[in-house]
């Protein structure tokens, strides 16, 4: 990895692959997960020879042998069966978010194809308590899903997520009726907190 690329490899949506062959979210997701666990990612690389990525976790508070079974994630977030539609073209991120929200007690219908999400939204809008959608997907904009939600179920809370939040994107999101704009990659606990507030009719801080 050359020095210029090394400086940007953890940025969301940065990729050296041709258009359509990579989202540039893989390492950003890894970095986000490690931050959630109070860890970090180290990288050493020599162009033409190879790269080594090292994951650094904080030390355990007690010996692993004496540790009880893993407890739930520490948080006041309780999904209570609320149904969330999550849409993002990055399958790794979809897997991560679905897993975390499910552990928090939410029901999650996740889609990596926004067109399938659009169909589900139009056919089963009353089933969902919240729509969380990526802003920028290949050939599709999250604002389109937001508008569809407004057509079929105006009271449905919607959150838009984006890796590059500009003043223009923020203005458009709230002008179209978004309840929140989520910055990616985001701390997982912060994402869960935003989701809980929206499904209960509260505005995120």
Pair 96, 191 in one domain: yes
- CATH number for the domain harbouring residue 102: 3.40.50.2300
- What's the whole-model pTM score? 0.65
Q: Total structural domains in the chain?
A: 2
Pair 190, 114 in one domain: yes
pLDDT recorded at residue 25 = 54
pLDDT recorded at residue 20 = 44
For residue 20, the enclosing domain spans 3-56
Quick check: 198 pLDDT over 80?
A: yes
pLDDT recorded at residue 183 = 82
Pair 33, 107 in one domain: no
115-157 confidence digits (pLDDT tens): 999 999 999 999 999 999 999 888 889 999 999 999 999 999 9
Q: Is residue 44 packed enough to be buried (19+ CB in 10 Å), middle (13-18) or exposed (0-12)?
A: exposed
Mean pLDDT within 57-75? 59
Pair 187, 87 in one domain: yes
Q: Does residue 127 sit within a domain?
A: yes
What is the CA angle 173-178-179, rounded to 5? 135
Q: Contacts by 50-55 with C-beta closer than 8 Å and gap 24+?
A: 51/1, 55/30
More reliable by pLDDT, 92 or 25: 92
**Out of 41-50, 107-116, 167-176, 180-189, least confident range:** 180-189
Q: Does residue 109 sit within a domain?
A: yes
């Amino acid at each position: 990895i050359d020095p210029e690329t090394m400086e940007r490899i953890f940025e969301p949506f940065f990729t050296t692959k041709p258009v359509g062959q990579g989202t540039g979210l893989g390492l950003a997701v890894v970095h986000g997960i490690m931050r959630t666990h109070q860890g970090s990612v180290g990288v050493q690389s020599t162009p033409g020879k190879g790269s080594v990525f090292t994951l650094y976790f904080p030390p355990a508070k007690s010996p692993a042998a004496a540790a009880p079974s893993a407890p739930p994630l520490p948080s006041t977030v309780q999904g209570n069966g609320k149904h969330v539609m999550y849409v993002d073209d990055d399958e790794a991120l979809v897997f991560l978010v679905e897993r975390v929200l499910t552990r928090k007690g939410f029901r999650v219908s996740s889609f990596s194809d926004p067109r399938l999400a659009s169909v589900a939204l139009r056919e089963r809008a009353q089933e969902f308590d919240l729509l969380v959608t990526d802003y920028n997907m290949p050939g599709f904009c999250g604002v389109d899903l937001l508008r569809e939600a407004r057509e079929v179920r105006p009271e449905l809370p919607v959150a838009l997520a984006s890796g590059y939040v500009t003043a223009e994107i923020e203005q458009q999101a709230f002008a179209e009726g978004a309840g929140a704009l989520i910055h990616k990659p985001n701390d997982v606990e912060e994402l869960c907190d935003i989701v809980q507030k929206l499904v209960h009719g509260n505005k995120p801080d």
